[in-house]
Structure 1
Amino acid sequence: MKKPLLMGGLLTLGLAACAPNMRGQGNVVDVAVLGVNDFHGNLAPTSFSGVRIPDPADPTKQISLPAGGIEAIGGVLAEARRQNSNTIFVGVGDLIGASPLASSLLRDEPTIAAMNALDMKLSVVGNHEFDYGLKELRRMQNGGCDSNDPAKACKFNPTFTGAKFQYLAANVIEDATGKSIFPAYSIQNVGGANIAFVGAVLKETPTIVSPEGVAGLTFTDEAEAINKVIPELKSRNVDAIIALIHHGGVIDTTKEAFSTPECATLAGPIVNISNKLDPAVKVVMSAHTHRGYNCLVNGRTIIQGDAYGHLLQRVDLRIDKARHTVLGVKASTVVVDSTKVAKDPAMTALITKAKALTDPIANQQVAKLAVPQVSRTANAAGESPLGKLIADSQLAATRDAAKGGAVVAFMNPGGIRADLPVAPKADNGVTFGDVFTVQPFGNSLVVLTLTGAQIKTLLEQQFDNSGVTGQTRILQVSNGFAYKFDTTKPKDQRVSDITLNGQPLNPTASYRVTVNSFLADGGDGFTVLREGQSRLGGELDVDAFQAFIKSNAPVAPSAQDRITKLQ
């Protein structure tokens, strides 16, 4: 298999990027499937650290590559379709939700409009499609203005018509009807070949979204739901079956990169799911862990792109239509280099319209930092400069007795969606758009009472939730709180030396703890937080963060010394 090249002349790759005769003759056809996962409404390019390029100011250094954005994705798709008319564009979940302000303030309708214009044919639902509940998700599919947030709905287009592409959800059952909320599969005719796409979202979705978002829904086993429809697909003589699964894994980046063809170190939930799938499923297009890879597991291709459109998934199939057989599979991750790809003019117009509606709010300056940027990248102990800053802001907002009397705050890293600011500015300024992009979920702060023993359990649960999240999630902690951990120790014995303001935590004493509303309901597998007593609701997390950096300007990141990893 050929390795991918950076977009600049499009990626050159085995099957479909060759001469026109490779597109199929007679009963044999070559089909290109391009997919985007975890886009999260990122209409504009963002920094991609998966590829480093030389710093023009200092050739000895490297900088991240600006990648993604709908203009460049449109350019990639146009070139792919030029090379092979038998090209189909699909989504692998989380197209919307946790979005930057240009999409989120307009209820993600610009993102739906962009995918329509890019001729997306279908997408599996991701967990973030449920952020605002089933009714709103169905509005995303069917259109209309009857939204649970009328202040944002139909402001981008007063006659929002919904997604032209079909959402899939084989394993999401509505309790009231006993039926799946969307079709389990879609059969697409591409170049005369009938390709079945079957979609499932991670069954743990109820543990990682707000409870009201999944009320009345049951999420079943991904592989079982997909396998259930395989006999029906076989009876319809489909030529190929591709599973779109919004769950993922990680590779060993010390040995392999996202561009490594047929990588061999993939681990995580997607491997277990794939191993249970019917052999008729030839390819798994995955998502959720925001990590690019192109692997071969027990003979089956499992691929994922990076988040925000930085990498697209590409799968090239050679299909024998007469025998309903896949003759060959080649896959690659496509780098969407926004500095080189020809921009799609229709997408330029769309993003210009969205920004014109949202920039007056987004560009309001909040404060200035003492440094160009505060990073969300964690150290070996899982502690990040930005995570600490957010935890400090939440403690500051709830420390007063009237606001909860909190003594410690915990922040989930998955709720931190970007560095602050997203792109450094010459004056070290931070805008509301930057703050919103960091924390776009609209969670409120909750103060609750836990015993010292329950806080210990909370910290231990950081190492037990990888099956839910795809990776260990280390909570960010506020100033004055510290602890150590050793991952080689047995379960429930990994955390030690917990202190609050220099004093050992008392297992039997009660402490007022601040978390966001997502965590308070047991999100990310932190179920002990559901036991918290004497709950008191507070302001929005984004408002608390904005107030904190404004009142403490210019803010600089402090030393990462609150969490110590022993082993």
Structure 2
Amino acid sequence: MTRRLSMGLAAATAAGACAVALALPADAGGADHGGGGTVPIQLLSYNDFHGNLEPPTGSSGRVVVDHKIDPATGKAVDVTVDAGGAEYMSTHLSSLRQGHKVSYTVTAGDLIGASPLLSAAFHDEKTIDALSMMGTDVSAVGNHEFDEGSTELLRMQRGGCLDDGAGANNQNSCPDGAGTFDGAGFSYLDANVVREDTGETLLPSYTIKKQNGVPVAFVGLTLKETPSIVTAAGVKGLQFTDEVKAANALVPELKRKGVNAMVILIHQGGNLPKEDWTGPDGKTYQVNPTYDYVCGKGGALAPDSPIIPIAKGLDPAYDAIVTGHTHQSYSCTIPDPAGQPRTVTSASSFGRQLTETILPYSRKTKDIVRPDVTTRDVIVTRDVAKDARITDLITRSQAQIAPIANKVLGTITTDVSKTQNAAGESPLGDLIADAQLADPSTVTGGKTPQIAFMNPGGIRADLPYGPDNGQVTFGDAFTVQPFNNYMVSLDLTGADLYALLNQQWSGANAASPKVLQVSKGFTYSWSAATKQVVPGSVRLNGVAVDSATTYRVVTNNFLQGGGDGFAAFTKGTGVYYGGLDIDSFASYLQKVSPYTPGALNRITVQ
């Protein structure tokens, strides 16, 4: 596999990155190659869009393209460009398709869910409309497609409106007056999600597309760990089976149908380690990988990346693997079971990047010529014209949610970041946990929560200090916490608390630790060597937590159900449901305005 890199020329020049985009061959638009023997299949892929119709802001709206030395500190810092936005993404897709006779736009899931208010306020219907308008052909189902349950996922595919009370809980299905939602203009696929009542897959396992006489099969897969990272109600009655077994079982059927060109779309991915960068001073620095991370050319996915064993197990009949879930940017070749390299790609997240893969299809063998597969990354720069159709959709949606989104909750005096320090604590995590602790809706029977826990994966964006003197609107707050989870209070013993904290680095979290964010007054230390809480270090308001004592805890219903591998929450008693997490966050922001983050000293590492 060869690799070509590309980005908008104006953005590249401004960023100080490579100023010239390497072009595809002049005949890449569909002419047969090798004496009329091959046809190039263009695969345009993206993943983890998460309803980002508007250009994402803060770190979520930037792409690392290079590095430089900060003269003030002498350290390497990222060079970034602004990227993303559905209006620009649609234009980039249209431009990339020009001249190609065989072209498919595919995704690896999480198109919806954990979405900004502009999408979530309409149950993500607007995102489905926009992605359909920009020519998406097929998508795997991600875990976030189950955020509102399997019935809602089927509605996203098939269409229809919800009777949701026209604005209850700041949501409104089919708000345009026509009373219709047509559903996705593309196919959702899921080969490894099986209904317990029928034994059938929830959605089709695959689809076969044909352009210019070339048949291509696309198989969709969802990560089998989905039940541990979504609410239990969202996946009730479903079984998530092994991805490799589900996909490999389809190969004989696809071959019987005369299809040899096969592509996997899977909502699972890899993680990127820090990479070495040689600065102009000749020194080597450990830096964040750039968007054009190429495995096999001095780099590789982290060895514990979950996609690696999956890629190594998928039948050699599959010619390329489009991945997602980890929000990373990479293009790799991971050997198939026959030992032959196979392309594995991921295109970052939030619509900031597209990956173009060219799959040469041999007319003679009716299969992909794998050694000649090429890929390149294209950043969704904002130096192109907007797609007027998407602009109209966004403008109408903005007007419909303006009264809610523009309500000012308070102000911040500086950026409040979700980035965790070495111990795992973040400024925004502290703020959210404190908001949950202060939520009166979870007080019951005279029991007031003493400790709050927030999952880091539920914090979806920073709170950046903007040009409006740090004003924070409801829309800003919703972008940070978009799940509409319920707050839940419950009793846990001190022993349960120790077990809970140790689950941050064990079991399902051993490969990718998840450090919970905690409320003020609750402190502890953990050992980097043992990945365990230091005995005796867990304290509440300075007093050591006693294993036999019962403590009142508040968290969201996702964690309370054992989500993210925190089974200790399920041992809680006296469970009481309160209001929505976004309401507790919004209410607290009003109380503490103007807000300045405090020192990060609740969690320490030894």
TM-score range, shorter chain: over 0.9
* Residues in 2 aligned to 1:64 and 1:512: alpha-carbon distance in whole angstroms: 44
Cα distance, 1:216 vs. partner? Answer: 0.8
Give the 3 Å change call, closer, same or farther, for CA 513–188 of structure 1 in structure 2: same
- The alignment status of 1:552 with 2:573, answered yes or no, reads no
Give the 3 Å change call, closer, same or farther, for CA 202–147 of structure 1 in structure 2: farther
* Residues in 2 aligned to 1:451 and 1:149: alpha-carbon distance in whole angstroms: 40
- The alignment status of 1:127 with 2:143, answered yes or no, reads yes
> Which residue in 2 is equivalent to 1:336?
380
* Residues in 2 aligned to 1:511 and 1:499: alpha-carbon distance in whole angstroms: 12
- Most deviating of 423-432 and 475-484: 423-432
* Residues in 2 aligned to 1:87 and 1:424: alpha-carbon distance in whole angstroms: 40
CA contact (8 A) 2:503 2:509 kept: no
CA contact (8 A) 1:394 1:541 kept: yes
- Most deviating of 66-75 and 395-404: 395-404
- The alignment status of 1:107 with 2:108, answered yes or no, reads no
* Residues in 1 aligned to 2:87 and 2:98: alpha-carbon distance in whole angstroms: 17
Q: What is the aligned counterpart of 1:20 among 18, 27, 33?
A: 27
- Most deviating of 44-53 and 285-294: 44-53
* Residues in 1 aligned to 2:99 and 2:493: alpha-carbon distance in whole angstroms: 63
Aligned pairs, number? 558
- The alignment status of 1:420 with 2:458, answered yes or no, reads no
State TM-score, norm by structure 2.
0.87
Cα distance, 1:488 vs. partner? Answer: 2.3
* Residues in 2 aligned to 1:417 and 1:430: alpha-carbon distance in whole angstroms: 16
CA contact (8 A) 2:6 2:376 kept: no
- Most deviating of 342-351 and 259-268: 259-268
> Which residue in 2 is equivalent to 1:97?
113
Residue identity in the other structure for 2:455? N
Unaligned runs of 5+ in 1: none
- After the TM superposition, which residues 148-163 of structure 1 pair with which residues of structure 2 at under 5 Å, given as runs? 151=167, 152-156=172-176, 158-163=179-184
SS in 2 for 1:497: coil
Residue identity in the other structure for 1:32? Q
Residue identity in the other structure for 1:297? I
* Residues in 2 aligned to 1:494 and 1:257: alpha-carbon distance in whole angstroms: 37
> Which residue in 2 is equivalent to 1:50?
63
- After the TM superposition, which residues 237-386 of structure 1 pair with which residues of structure 2 at under 5 Å, given as runs? 237-255=258-276, 256-263=289-296, 264-267=299-302, 268-298=305-335, 299-327=341-369, 328-338=372-382, 340-371=383-414, 373-386=415-428
Cα distance, 1:453 vs. partner? Answer: 1.1
* Residues in 2 aligned to 1:343 and 1:499: alpha-carbon distance in whole angstroms: 54
> Which residue in 2 is equivalent to 1:225?
246
Cα distance, 1:282 vs. partner? Answer: 1.9
Cα distance, 1:494 vs. partner? Answer: 6.6
* Residues in 2 aligned to 1:531 and 1:474: alpha-carbon distance in whole angstroms: 19
> Which residue in 1 is equivalent to 2:7?
6
CA contact (8 A) 1:304 1:333 kept: no
SS in 2 for 1:479: coil
* Residues in 1 aligned to 2:485 and 2:202: alpha-carbon distance in whole angstroms: 26
Cα distance, 1:163 vs. partner? Answer: 0.7
* Residues in 1 aligned to 2:473 and 2:355: alpha-carbon distance in whole angstroms: 33
> Which residue in 2 is equivalent to 1:486?
527
SS in 2 for 1:180: coil
Residue identity in the other structure for 2:456? P
Give the 3 Å change call, closer, same or farther, for CA 85–353 of structure 1 in structure 2: farther
CA contact (8 A) 1:17 1:84 kept: no
CA contact (8 A) 1:466 1:473 kept: no
Q: What is the aligned counterpart of 1:31 among 41, 53, 60?
A: 41
Give the 3 Å change call, closer, same or farther, for CA 455–130 of structure 1 in structure 2: same
Cα distance, 1:146 vs. partner? Answer: 4.2
- The alignment status of 1:509 with 2:530, answered yes or no, reads no
Give the 3 Å change call, closer, same or farther, for CA 140–209 of structure 1 in structure 2: same
* Residues in 2 aligned to 1:305 and 1:521: alpha-carbon distance in whole angstroms: 31
1:190-218 CA-partner distances (Å, limit 9, x unpaired): 34321111111011111111111111111
Cα distance, 1:95 vs. partner? Answer: 0.5
* Residues in 1 aligned to 2:129 and 2:437: alpha-carbon distance in whole angstroms: 39
Give the 3 Å change call, closer, same or farther, for CA 320–182 of structure 1 in structure 2: same
* Residues in 2 aligned to 1:150 and 1:288: alpha-carbon distance in whole angstroms: 32
* Residues in 2 aligned to 1:218 and 1:559: alpha-carbon distance in whole angstroms: 44
* Residues in 1 aligned to 2:24 and 2:549: alpha-carbon distance in whole angstroms: 66
Give the 3 Å change call, closer, same or farther, for CA 429–131 of structure 1 in structure 2: same
> Which residue in 2 is equivalent to 1:201?
222
Residue identity in the other structure for 2:403? P
SS in 1 for 2:460: coil
State TM-score, norm by structure 1.
0.93
* Residues in 2 aligned to 1:495 and 1:125: alpha-carbon distance in whole angstroms: 42
* Residues in 2 aligned to 1:143 and 1:282: alpha-carbon distance in whole angstroms: 32
SS in 2 for 1:555: coil
- Most deviating of 408-417 and 307-316: 307-316
Residue identity in the other structure for 2:593? A
Give the 3 Å change call, closer, same or farther, for CA 282–231 of structure 1 in structure 2: same
Percent of matched pairs sharing the same residue: 40
* Residues in 2 aligned to 1:493 and 1:411: alpha-carbon distance in whole angstroms: 18
Cα distance, 1:312 vs. partner? Answer: 1.7
CA contact (8 A) 1:261 1:332 kept: no
